[in-house]
Amino acid sequence: MTDTLFSPVRASSVYVPDEQLHLIPMLRNFLIPSLGNLPDVMHFTASGLAPRTSPPSGYFSPSTHPTWSLRDLVLYAMEPTYVPPDQKAFSDDTQISALMGTIFHVIFNYAFREMGILVAPPEKSCPLCHKPRGYKAGVDTCNEHVVIDEKLKRRGHVDGVVKLPDLGTIPIDVKTCAHQAIKWINNHDAQPFIEAKAGSLKAKYYGQAQEYLAMRDEDMLMFVYIGLGYPWEMREIIIKRDQPYIDALQAKYKLAREMASRREIPPA
Ligand SMILES: [Zn+2]
């Protein structure tokens, strides 16, 4: 199957080879405003950050549930409004970070599309958030690829799927972090994610990546990081499929669904 791309590859984004980096050199070039790639007006939606008005879906989400304990998963499967007691509410500062992260997701998605590397999702409208696909000024659209597994009841959005000359088609997960924190992240060093301590953000991100790989049935995903603040450093890290992790998580999800249907709660 050939991937449908949103736009032809632009001359200003012609692939810049680098021994190590697959995406960042061309992404950096694209984002420099004086090079004239960006539109005058961009549209972003902040509603995803507002307090929830509809009940949660009850699905396991790649960004939330892979690192939860069996007990927490069972309680969530029984009652989707359940939140584990150790889960901290977002501080005001974290909420501002999330807002900036949302804006960078929009900018990166635009850049991928205009660079001619963004793979178009197959559906006319998003099966999850029901927004139309495509791009139109002032219209709230969703061009993220969706993963759905009705068997284990898990689903989510993938930030983007891009087609790169040397790597082929690969899903992308855009991550933002404090600019001081990006110093501790190295290009193509996946080890800290593989070895991340339970409960850490890196462990969460690793689980999220494995969920996308499991549901998309693929072998590689790329994290693209940007540090929020001068000098806007970026990193790319390829996360490989970890089959033992995927098997263990799927077994945990299956057991959680079964226990929830029997109303059987594991002890704390
Ligand atoms: Zn959507």
**Distance from Cα 26 to the centre of ligand 1, integer Å:** 26
The model's pTM is 0.91
**Distance from Cα 126 to the centre of ligand 1, integer Å:** 5
Amino acid occupying residue 46:
A
**Distance from Cα 135 to the centre of ligand 1, integer Å:** 13
Amino acid occupying residue 187:
N
**Distance from Cα 258 to the centre of ligand 1, integer Å:** 29
Q: Identify the weakest region by mean pLDDT among 138-147, 149-158, 224-233, 246-255.
A: 138-147
Q: Is 220 exposed, middle or buried (0-12, 13-18, 19+ CB in 10 A)?
A: middle
**Distance from Cα 146 to the centre of ligand 1, integer Å:** 7
| SS3 of residue 220 by DSSP | strand
Two structure tokens written together for 4: 């449908």
**Distance from Cα 212 to the centre of ligand 1, integer Å:** 15
**Distance from Cα 191 to the centre of ligand 1, integer Å:** 31
**Distance from Cα 59 to the centre of ligand 1, integer Å:** 15
**Distance from Cα 35 to the centre of ligand 1, integer Å:** 31
Mind listing the pLDDT tens digit for each residue in 142-191? 889 999 999 999 999 999 999 998 889 999 999 999 999 999 999 999 99
**Distance from Cα 127 to the centre of ligand 1, integer Å:** 7
Domain ranges of the chain: 19-48+59-261
Name residues with Cβ closer than 5 Å to ligand 1, which is an ion.
Answer: 126, 128-129, 142
Q: Name the percent of the chain lying above pLDDT 70.
A: 94
**Distance from Cα 63 to the centre of ligand 1, integer Å:** 15
Residue 26 has pLDDT above 90, yes or no: no
Mind listing the pLDDT tens digit for each residue in 108-150? 998 999 999 999 999 999 999 899 998 887 788 888 999 999 9
**Distance from Cα 195 to the centre of ligand 1, integer Å:** 31
**Distance from Cα 207 to the centre of ligand 1, integer Å:** 21
State the sign of the Cα–Cα–Cα–Cα dihedral 251, 169, 45, 175. positive
**Distance from Cα 174 to the centre of ligand 1, integer Å:** 16
| Contacts for 252 with CB less than 8 Å, ≥ 6 apart | 70, 73
Amino acid occupying residue 210:
Q
**Distance from Cα 114 to the centre of ligand 1, integer Å:** 20
What was the pLDDT predicted at 162?
Answer: 95
Question: What mean pLDDT do residues 53-66 have?
Answer: 89
Residue 58 CB coordination number (10 Å):
13
Q: How far is CA 239 from the centre of its chain?
A: 12
What was the pLDDT predicted at 86?
Answer: 82
**Distance from Cα 147 to the centre of ligand 1, integer Å:** 10
Is 133:113 a contact under the CB 8 Å cutoff? no
Q: Candidates 3.90.320, 3.30.310, 3.30.70, 3.40.720; correct CATH number of 19-48+59-261?
A: 3.90.320
C-alpha–C-alpha distance, residues 117 and 48, integer Å:
26
Name the percent of the chain in helix, strand, coil, to the closest 5: 35, 20, 50
**Distance from Cα 49 to the centre of ligand 1, integer Å:** 15
Per-residue b/e over 18-29, b at no fewer than 16 CB within 10 Å?
A: eeebbbbbbbbb
What was the pLDDT predicted at 185?
Answer: 93
Residues counted in the chain: 268
Residue 146 CB coordination number (10 Å):
17
**Distance from Cα 122 to the centre of ligand 1, integer Å:** 12
Is 257:153 a contact under the CB 8 Å cutoff? yes
**Distance from Cα 231 to the centre of ligand 1, integer Å:** 31
Please name which of 85, 84, 93, 42 lies closest in space to residue 64, comparing C-alpha atoms. 84
